[in-house]
Amino acid sequence: MLSALRISKDYGASCVLRDVSVDFRPGEVVAIVGENGAGKSTLLKVLAAIVARTRGEATLDDRVYAPRSQREAERAGVALVFQELNVNPAVSVAENVMLGHLGDYRRFGLLDWKRLRADAQTMLDRIGADFAATDDVGGLDLGQIKTIEVARALATGPRFIFFDESTAFLNRSEAQRLMGVIRELRIQGIGVAFVSHHLQEVFEIADRLVVLKDGSLVGTYPADGMTEDRLYELMVGREMAGGLFPPKAGEITGAPILKIDGMMTATGTGPIDLEIRHGEIVGIGGLKGSGGEAILGAVGGSVRLSAGTMMWRGARYSPASPQDAWRAGIGSLPGDRTGEGVITDFSVLENVTLAARPSWALALSDGARMKTLAGEQVRSLGIRTEGLDTPVGSLSGGNMQKVVLGKCLATSPELLLLNNPTRGVDVGAKSEIYRVIRSLARKGMAVLMVTEDLPELLGLSDRVLVTRKGSISKAFDSAANLDEEEVVKWMM
């Protein structure tokens, strides 16, 4: 057994872990859950010797466990799979799997490719990989790339493997593949600990739950018998009797603000027929690449139409660019917040007001109005920041996502396009974002949302559309009584 005893970690005057004690056992999956900043990733990195603990101790089989480096931790039997991708696309799958051991395959300066590939394939076979050691890395999806990283961890001969938010940027099918890999590790007697903001994954695979809040241990609980509402309460430190999602709207009538007929996109999506009204949240669910993002792109001006029509507020609508959509009153929250949503080196003020500024020249002469506008968004969205001048890159994932949402709302749109609005944020931030979205809909804003998170799709949407192979396979008039199984059936 691997035991952490009163582990603490300080960064200057900030204590990010405070006297945390927890055990990990072979053949068991432990989920470490909590809000952003709870100390989840720091705990795993301390035990994997990525960062040094400030106080406390650890034991492995009742012997002192104090590795001074990641390599020493791996030799002791503890490996870590990072959130960030750590695979070199310029070399083979086999070389990526056996990275760190390549010297063992050299003889007289030459690499023994046959033995290298055979050993790498053995690691891949142990976890049921659906690709070969001889395959090209460039042809693999993100889930398969994560599988390479797990196989690399296996090559160290681990007794424990830690996963630090390894599914954060995987789509549903990719994440399910990684869940299957974790099951194989458990069967083989390897202890697994993983951090995830996707609580459906937690309940799907975890044997025990370790809950952290503000760097301290709330408690350790068996997964069997735990409910989502109770887990939310433990994580955020307050009751959530109403659940994660605000109440839905009643029946919504009136003329559609956006009407799409027979739309085909230049990327091959379609034909699409779709309507959305003021005050309505319409959710689009489907596998990645099935058409949902292309629909958002067409409405948001980044994807061109090859056929069909869009009517916006009763008039023909054909945006040539995202700027056209913004000017028409359509705001867009992208799926990649750091790549497309914000400029991380810019301040909160600069990011929130970016789309509201007609030009930089005007921004220089209208600083007071921009500060007022940014301040309103910070207050209404509950963005936790030291000030408007704080660089966005220093914020947590949930607060960064709120900044992107604030940028959209600063232009006062009538239609809000959302691409996976809570991807990679903790449950507390999710709850706040859902509250804001529903509040906007109650005030009359139309919301068109694409999400790969099924609970989010069913819990937040008033109506649900399912996409498959580029078209809408099923339209549900109400999401009130839908279950995940019914929706998934129309995705496959």
Kindly report, residue by residue over 445-473, the tens digit of the pLDDT. Answer: 999 999 988 888 999 999 999 999 899 99
pLDDT above 70: percentage of residues in the chain: 97
Beta-bridged to residue 212, according to DSSP, are 217
Residue with the larger pLDDT of the pair 135 and 169: 135
Q: CA dihedral defined by 18, 23, 29, 30, rounded to 10 degrees?
A: -20
State phi, psi for 161 to the nearest 5 degrees. Answer: -125, 130
* Residue 355 confidence (pLDDT) above 60: yes
The residues, any chain, with a CB within 8 Å of residue 162's CB and separated by 6 or more, are: 44, 47, 48, 78, 79, 80, 81, 192, 193, 194
Architecture of domain 258-491: 3-Layer(aba) Sandwich (3.40)
> Mean pLDDT of all residues in the chain?
87
pLDDT above 90: percentage of residues in the chain: 41
Neighbouring C-alpha atoms within 13 Å toward the C-beta of 178? 30
The structure's pTM equals 0.66
Residue with the larger pLDDT of the pair 416 and 165: 416
Q: Before 271, cis peptide (omega within 30)?
A: yes
pLDDT digits (tens, 9 = 90+) for 203-219: 989 999 999 988 899 99
Residue 363 has a pLDDT of 47
Residue 398 has a pLDDT of 75
One-letter-per-residue 3-state SS of 294-340: HHHHHHHCCCCEEEEEEEECCEECCCCCHHHHHHHCEEEECCCHHHH
Domains 2-236 and 258-491 share a fold: yes
* Residue 259 confidence (pLDDT) above 80: yes
Residues in the chain: 492
pLDDT digits (tens, 9 = 90+) for 100-137: 788 888 877 787 889 999 999 999 998 888 889 998 88
Cα–Cα distance measured from residue 209 to residue 221, given in angstroms and rounded to the nearest whole number? 5
* Residue 316 confidence (pLDDT) above 50: yes
Candidate ranges 256-265, 402-411, 427-436; pick with highest mean pLDDT = 256-265
405-426 in b/e form (b: 16+ CB < 10 A) is: bbbbbbbebbbbbbbbbbbbbb
pLDDT digits (tens, 9 = 90+) for 399-409: 888 888 888 88
Residue 176: left if φ>0, alpha if ψ -120 to 50, beta else—which one?
alpha
Q: Which CATH number fits domain 2-236: 3.40.50.460, 3.40.50.720, 3.40.50.300, 3.40.1480.10?
A: 3.40.50.300
Cα–Cα distance measured from residue 93 to residue 116, given in angstroms and rounded to the nearest whole number? 10
* Residue 332 confidence (pLDDT) above 60: yes
Domain map of the chain by residue range?
2-236, 258-491
Choice among 232-246, 421-435, 436-450, 457-471 with the minimum mean pLDDT: 232-246
In DSSP notation, 462-473 reads SEEEEEETTEEE
Residue with the larger pLDDT of the pair 25 and 201: 25
Residue 360 has a pLDDT of 45
Cα–Cα distance measured from residue 71 to residue 84, given in angstroms and rounded to the nearest whole number? 19
**H-helix or E-strand containing 3?**
strand 2-11
The stretch 3-25 carries a mean pLDDT of 90
Residue 444 has a pLDDT of 93
Give the residue among 120, 116, 99 at the shortest CA–CA distance from 107: 116
Rg (CA), the chain: 24
Residue 379 has a pLDDT of 86
Residue 150 has a pLDDT of 87
Angle 67-68-70 from CA coordinates, rounded to 5°: 80
State phi, psi for 270 to the nearest 5 degrees. Answer: 130, 175
Give the residue among 420, 415, 403, 417 at the shortest CA–CA distance from 455: 420
The stretch 224-244 carries a mean pLDDT of 77
Candidate ranges 7-21, 141-155, 231-245, 434-448; pick with highest mean pLDDT = 434-448
Cα–Cα distance measured from residue 49 to residue 60, given in angstroms and rounded to the nearest whole number? 14
Residue with the larger pLDDT of the pair 108 and 224: 224
Cα→Cα distances 246→63, 174, 408, 438, Å: 50, 29, 21, 7
Q: CA dihedral defined by 395, 331, 483, 477, rounded to 10 degrees?
A: 170
Confidence of residue 223 (pLDDT cuts 50, 70, 90): very high
